[in-house]
Chain A
Amino acid sequence: MISRPTVEPLPRSHRRHIFWLCLVIFCVALPSLWFYTTGYRFEWNGKDHTIVGVGGLYISTDMSSPHFFVDEAEVTNFRLFRKASYIQNLIEGKHSVHVQGDGVQTWTKDLPINSYIVTEAFSFNLPIVPRVRPITPYTTSTGTAVFQITNGSPIPFARATTTVAVIATTTKATTTLIADTEYTFVKSLFASTTASTTLAQKIVKTVEQGLRNGEVATTTATTTKEWRNVRLYEGDGDVYATWLGSADKIPYYYCVDTVSATTTASEYGTHVYAGLIDSAMRQGSTTRSAAVASIEGQHACRDRIRVDRKWQQVHWFDFYPNSTDLVLMLLDDGLYVVEIDDRSWQNTQLLYGGTDLKVVLDGGRIYVNDHGYYAEVFTSLTQ
């Protein structure tokens, strides 16, 4: 018969050992994790096993399952945030980044990565084949859109895919069809907008007015769009984006973390460095050398960025729905989406191709008028 329980209370010496073990783990883990989270990594693969500083890349995207490539190698061990991905362990220097997906255009950019710093970017990937929802004057009783076309005329939206069933018919009879109220509404949108007035037409009109007054107008801002502290405006046939908000909220791509006369141009492009100097001069520097001196080694931002128009005429522009990072531009050969971020090149993706188009934005929806046929254009494969 036992006289006492065989499971004794936990000995104090045992507890002390556990405590010291935990303390040792803490003392080892703390500096290790501090260094790790700051961006220090031990270089296992190189000849010299040294500690190197790494940076990161934070790419926002609207795609549901994007594929990321850095320097042509696919990255799989990225961290997914809500609508963005964080790619770690990038060595300092310029990296080529691609974001791809099935059925969408590739977004690509050369971005400089600095140690311990995360470079941000927003990728957008429009469908390769434009996706539209035709809006027709009539529908069948079951709701199918009906195009009434003439013999031999081209089929509307032939270079796009549609998300709804459409019937094209040469019959003019409408007794069995139902008038579509949305068509009437969209038609009225196009009727009431000046979207069809091209930028060139506006400039000509303005210059004529100036000459009539005995003046010469060299720069005329005929259209301005403002939204969420960003202004888009025309100047010399180009479209510019200007940040109007406070300095502490300026989007990352207007700025360079540490400006350097020797490296900024090579890392971001000469246009970025020139833009920084121009901004400094507009803000008070009287000479170029004073402007250079004022931004050298500093975190500096430009106040405006020119939006690439691919040497084409800009017929219309506006903000891409729900974004101040992207611009919708109607050029000679189609409707494009262009990013304002001009570190390296600006990605320009075709949303809907064609000539003599007209575009209207209404409540976040993009409508095109393609030679008398109306459609809503979608920006993603999931719409």
Chain B
Amino acid sequence: MDTKEVLLPYARRFDFKVGRATELTGKRRRFYRALEILPGLASWTTVIGVLILSNYAPFFAAYFIIGFSIYWVLKTAFLSYHLRYNWKRLRHHLSLNWADLIERFEYGHIYHVVILPFSTEPEHIVDETITSLAKTHYDKKNIIVVLGTEERAGADAAHIAAKMKEKWQSTFGNFLVTVHPGDIAGEIAGKGSNATWAAEKVRTEILDPHGIRYNHTLVSIFDIDTVLYPDYFNCLIWHFMTARRPLKSSFQPVPIFNNNIWEAPAVARVVAMSSTFWEMVQQERPERMATFSSHSVSFQALYEVGYWQTNMVSEDSRIFWNLYLANDGEYDVIPLSYPVSMDANVAPTLFGTMRNIYKQHRRWTYGVENFVYVAYHFTQQKKIPLKTRVGILLQQAEGYWSLVTNPIMLFVLGWAPIFLGTKQFHHTVLSYNLPIIVRDLLMIAMFGLVVSSIISLTLLPQRPKDKGRWLYIVLAIQWILVPITMIVFSALPGLDAQTRLMLGKYMGFWVTPKNRSTTT
């Protein structure tokens, strides 16, 4: 991008795309650094605080844990209600013929730029994603595919990209292969820098030369393992056309991590489905949503903020906050309640799978850097009402805090007063009733898993012939692993990520290895 003139006023700030405290100076740097410390400090204080309370004030700790368990039961019920409702809506949306619904709109002038950032993934993964694009019920001549490769990925990646271009360029309106250089100063290697490079290339090489207007262009950025459902673009057009402010909105599908779900071990299935369910819950409360993973947005909106940040890890959510701040808070995320399929995290071995899940979730939970960014800019962006800013910050803070602390408090620290409490406490009825009541409350909360279990079965792709029917039983009861997965693949990577940020050990982008058989 040549000039800052095209950016929205707030996006022209020197610190608009700050990625970490070290990019600032003086007071701003110290303030940003303090904000980086805050989430980890809060989480560690909570965990250690409960331990200290359990030892020195066990009665208080016991009452707190009981209150917290009740809160957890109600939260589970509350979220299960949202999940069930979104499941109903998702199924309804899948049953609709969206082509009929958009007939009344004039949308022939709208182009879709599909950016597929790509690193070292196998050829068949890339091919299946583009195949699904080709199978969508939409005029392919209005679709521009951009396969964003990395220079550092080497000759193999370039070869795959060339093969894909040769195979598919006649199917779509245009097929562009971009090569993101590996030596651009100030960037970290990752999806954001690749996508930004690709977006600018598509602007200069396709949109501008062909006179395609930015406000008539919808950008869909998909992870390379994203497999589209046939009506995705029709559904997207309907929501774009009916949105209150379509150019000031991002469109979020439901990522279902089920491409390779039949190949995944139970722990990977539970983690993958849990991630899907969380996004489904969020679809019913869009005011709390930020974009996540694969999503769509108008090119105009992206252009006005200079595309994705290139200097941080969780660019998929950060782009929403960039847009929200640059548009003075006048920006929405519109849930599509329409799925896209992605890969569950699977490695050749169980240990490898667990290690990859941990690393992937550490990267996801490193999204806490967005809290720092938002908190910093909320002190600068005064055009957003104070009440809104405070509300969002509290929501964000609670989200990142509870992600890390809640599972640990429920499943580990809930018993701490019994082991650490004073002798006086140990003789009380409260001490004896505490584990009973906490266990009973958690059992009630587990009923939420029944909802999860039923819904998960309906989201499965067709069973491969080599998989027996008995696997459905395993798929139904695998949810008993949730207490473990919540701690190992949610709380611990979250605490890890927050601790790294707290200590200034900034994370880089870790590309999740894709493992999927070619038969799916």
Interface residues of A in 107-142 (CB under 8 A from B): 116-118, 120
Interface residues of A in 277-335 (CB under 8 A from B): 299
Pair A5/B437 contact, Cβ less than 8 Å = no
Pair B433/A36 contact, Cβ less than 8 Å = yes
A14-22, A189-197, A212-220, A360-368: which lies at the B interface? A14-22
Pair A15/B429 contact, Cβ less than 8 Å = no
B88 interface residue (CB < 8 Å to A): yes
Pair A5/B96 contact, Cβ less than 8 Å = yes
Pair A4/B242 contact, Cβ less than 8 Å = yes
Interface residues of A in 50-92 (CB under 8 A from B): 54-56, 58, 79, 86, 88
Residue of B whose beta carbon sits closest to that of A33: B66
- Classify the secondary structure of A's interface with B: mixed
Pair A37/B434 contact, Cβ less than 8 Å = yes
Pair A5/B89 contact, Cβ less than 8 Å = yes
Give the residues in chain B near A117, CB-CB below 8 Å.
Answer: 427-429
Pair B70/A30 contact, Cβ less than 8 Å = yes
Residue of B whose beta carbon sits closest to that of A2: B101
Would A39 and B430 be within 8 Å (CB), given that A26-B74, A79-B436 are in contact? yes
Pair A118/B427 contact, Cβ less than 8 Å = yes
Q: Mark B278-290, 1 if CB is under 8 A from A, else 0.
A: 0000011110000
**Closest Cβ–Cβ distance, residue B339 to chain A (whole Å):** 14
Pair A5/B93 contact, Cβ less than 8 Å = yes
Give the residues in chain A near B431, CB-CB below 8 Å.
Answer: 118
Pair A9/B284 contact, Cβ less than 8 Å = yes
Pair B85/A56 contact, Cβ less than 8 Å = no
Q: Mark B54-90, 1 if CB is under 8 A from A, else 0.
A: 0000000011001100110011011001100110110
Q: A37: which of B75, B86, B433 is its contact (CB, 8 Å)?
A: B433
Give the residues in chain B near A7, CB-CB below 8 Å.
Answer: 88-89, 92-93
Interface size class of B (residues with CB under 8 A): 35 or more
B255 interface residue (CB < 8 Å to A): no
Give the residues in chain B near A30, CB-CB below 8 Å.
Answer: 66-67, 70
- Classify the secondary structure of B's interface with A: helix
A25 interface residue (CB < 8 Å to B): yes
**Closest Cβ–Cβ distance, residue B88 to chain A (whole Å):** 6
Whole-angstrom CA separation of A123 from B335 in the bound complex: 62
**Closest Cβ–Cβ distance, residue B420 to chain A (whole Å):** 13
Whole-angstrom CA separation of A86 from B439 in the bound complex: 15
Give the residues in chain A near B62, CB-CB below 8 Å.
Answer: 37
B100 interface residue (CB < 8 Å to A): yes
Q: B428: which of A9, A33, A36, A116 is its contact (CB, 8 Å)?
A: A116
Pair B427/A15 contact, Cβ less than 8 Å = no
Q: A5: which of B66, B92, B285, B436 is its contact (CB, 8 Å)?
A: B92
B387 interface residue (CB < 8 Å to A): no
Whole-angstrom CA separation of A261 from B281 in the bound complex: 63
Pair A116/B78 contact, Cβ less than 8 Å = no
Whole-angstrom CA separation of A252 from B428 in the bound complex: 13
Pair B437/A55 contact, Cβ less than 8 Å = no
B210 interface residue (CB < 8 Å to A): no
Q: Mark A11-48, 1 if CB is under 8 A from B, else 0.
A: 00001001100100110011001101111000000000
Give the residues in chain B near A1, CB-CB below 8 Å.
Answer: 100
**Closest Cβ–Cβ distance, residue B214 to chain A (whole Å):** 27
Residue of A whose beta carbon sits closest to that of B88: A7
Whole-angstrom CA separation of A34 from B63 in the bound complex: 7
B432 interface residue (CB < 8 Å to A): yes
Whole-angstrom CA separation of A257 from B424 in the bound complex: 9
Whole-angstrom CA separation of A301 from B63 in the bound complex: 29
Give the residues in chain B near A38, CB-CB below 8 Å.
Answer: 428-430, 433
B465 interface residue (CB < 8 Å to A): no
Pair A10/B429 contact, Cβ less than 8 Å = no
Pair A257/B242 contact, Cβ less than 8 Å = no
Whole-angstrom CA separation of A79 from B81 in the bound complex: 32
**Closest Cβ–Cβ distance, residue A116 to chain B (whole Å):** 5
B27 interface residue (CB < 8 Å to A): no
Give the residues in chain A near B63, CB-CB below 8 Å.
Answer: 34
B423 interface residue (CB < 8 Å to A): yes
B505 interface residue (CB < 8 Å to A): no
A151 interface residue (CB < 8 Å to B): no
**Closest Cβ–Cβ distance, residue A211 to chain B (whole Å):** 48
Pair A248/B428 contact, Cβ less than 8 Å = no
**Most interface-central of B66, B88, B284, B432 (chain A CB within 10 A):** B432
24 contacts between A and B (CB under 8 A): A2-B100, A2-B101, A3-B104, A4-B101, A5-B92, A9-B284, A9-B337, A10-B85, A10-B86, A15-B82, A18-B78, A22-B74, A25-B74, A33-B66, A34-B66, A37-B62, A37-B434, A39-B433, A86-B436, A88-B432, A116-B428, A116-B430, A118-B429, A118-B432
Please name 13 further chain A to chain B contacts, defined as beta carbons within 8 Å, in addition to the given A7-B93, A9-B89, A37-B437, sorted by A numbering: A2-B96, A3-B104, A5-B101, A7-B89, A15-B82, A29-B70, A30-B67, A33-B437, A34-B66, A54-B429, A56-B432, A88-B429, A116-B428
Sort A-B residue pairs by CB-CB distance and give the 7 closest, nearest first: A39-B429, A37-B433, A7-B92, A22-B74, A10-B284, A7-B89, A29-B70
